């Protein structure tokens, strides 16, 4: 088997071919669904993925190894001018691993961004969104604290959520350690990490604590019980499908857990009034696109400042595709720019 570096080079070389060639290699034609056209590089990657066993047929350990290998092939390079260190922070029941990022040009007024990675609560690590965190740190000019929360099925709901909440409180209360203003932090995440970030804001409101400076929700899961149109239209999408979501939730939820519980499905909270200003980004070819958009709308209707973007030609997990899909890199840079605007109070 080729080394990871050789595999990475080969994938990037293939994806640099012209769009018509990639579509031909993927089986021909243009993938057009729900009024959206899939990026040809993602079309090619989807065709390749169909040749491998689906994630839901794997064991948890096999799925974790598969995810790490896939990320290594398509993720971008770390941004220049950003340094990082591995450390531990307090989780809900003990210390958990984390990674702190500091840009060379850091705005001393920018809050610390506490970040939770994607992975359905079952797979993923601080390595999953490593490149994105460097990008976010450099463009938003803020420190980022990426949290390696506990995963299911070893630690089912609400373990991961409680770790992220504990890590947020630590980051907020120790922000000066990372060059940010004391007592000021933002919360963010993608996919299940976005779910955690949204719920953290709601949990802080319940506890009577100040809201984060900003919430960054990237293709978030906001309704575990959703039956929206996009769950059907993009139910067989790449890299997240409806069967894969069912596999994740089968490991994440316990037998007595209610998918409609707002601590699982923050969209189902009765009110979103008073929550932190939000940047919400979704991917067009994603079963979760409707629920991400719905959460942005519900926030706005509650009087919360929101910047919402849908990247129609992209698919779920695009923060990890910046080295292979130029449109994903562009989207991530725009999102980081919106975070910067949010820190400056320029989200209406």
From CA 219, how far away is CA 316, in angstroms rounded?
7
The pairing of beta strand 95-103 with beta strand 144-147: antiparallel
Report the DSSP beta bridge partners of residue 309.
Answer: 281
From CA 78, how far away is CA 131, in angstroms rounded?
5
Query: One of 130, 155, 184, 316 is an active-site residue; which one?
Result: 316
CB 130 within 8 Å of CB 78: yes
Token output for 42: 């993602």
Token output for 3: 């080394």
CB 2 within 8 Å of CB 10: yes
DSSP structural state of residue 92: S
Query: One of 191, 226, 230, 241 is an active-site residue; which one?
Result: 191
Query: One of 39, 163, 223, 286 is an active-site residue; which one?
Result: 286
CA distances to 167, 173, 208 from 341, rounded to whole Å, are 24, 23, 26
The enclosing H or E element of 297 equals: helix 289-301
Instruction: Give catalytic status of residue 286 as yes or no.
Output: yes
Short-list 38, 39, 43, 45, CA closest to 11: 45
The pairing of beta strand 36-37 with beta strand 82-90: unpaired
With the C-alpha atoms ordered 91, 222, 204, 212, is the resulting torsion angle positive or negative? positive
Instruction: Give catalytic status of residue 66 as yes or no.
Output: no
Short-list 120, 113, 114, 125, CA closest to 149: 125
Q: Please, what is the Cα angle at 347 between 345 and 348, to 5 degrees?
A: 115
Short-list 250, 232, 239, 335, CA closest to 290: 232
Instruction: Give catalytic status of residue 86 as yes or no.
Output: no
Query: Annotated active-site positions, please?
Result: 191, 286, 316
């Amino acid at each position: 088997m080729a080394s990871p570096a050789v595999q990475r080079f080969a994938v990037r070389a293939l994806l640099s071919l012209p769009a018509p060639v990639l579509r031909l290699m993927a089986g021909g034609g243009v993938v057009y669904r729900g009024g959206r056209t899939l990026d040809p590089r993602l079309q090619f990657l989807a065709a390749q993925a169909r040749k491998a066993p689906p994630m839901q047929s794997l064991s948890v350990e096999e799925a974790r190894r598969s995810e790490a290998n896939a990320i290594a092939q398509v993720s971008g390079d770390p941004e220049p001018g950003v340094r990082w260190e591995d450390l531990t922070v307090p989780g809900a029941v003990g210390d958990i691993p984390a990674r702190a990022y500091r840009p060379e040009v850091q705005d001393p007024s920018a809050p610390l961004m506490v970040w939770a990675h994607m992975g359905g609560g079952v797979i993923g690590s601080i390595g999953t969104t490593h490149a994105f965190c460097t990008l976010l740190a450099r463009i938003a000019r803020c420190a980022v604290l990426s949290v390696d929360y506990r995963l299911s099925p070893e630690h089912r709901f609400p373990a991961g959520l409680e770790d992220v909440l504990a890590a947020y409180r630590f980051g907020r209360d120790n922000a000066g350690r990372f060059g940010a203003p004391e007592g000021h932090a933002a919360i963010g995440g993608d996919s299940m990490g976005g779910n955690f970030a949204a719920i953290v804001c709601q949990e802080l409101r319940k506890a009577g604590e100040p809201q984060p400076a900003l919430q960054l929700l990237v293709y978030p899961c906001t309704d575990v019980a959703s039956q929206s149109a996009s769950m059907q239209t993009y139910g067989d999408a790449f890299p997240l499908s409806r069967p894969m979501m069912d596999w994740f939730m089968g490991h994440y939820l316990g037998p007595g857990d209610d998918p409609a519980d707002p601590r699982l499905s923050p969209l189902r909270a009765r009110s979103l009034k008073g929550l932190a200003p939000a940047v919400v980004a979704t991917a067009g070819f994603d079963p979760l696109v409707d629920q991400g958009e719905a959460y942005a709308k519900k926030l706005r209707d509650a009087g919360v400042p929101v910047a919402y973007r849908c990247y129609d030609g992209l698919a779920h997990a695009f923060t990890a595709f910046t080295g292979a899909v130029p449109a994903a890199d562009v989207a991530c840079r725009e999102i980081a720019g919106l975070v910067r605007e949010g820190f400056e109070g320029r989200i209406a």
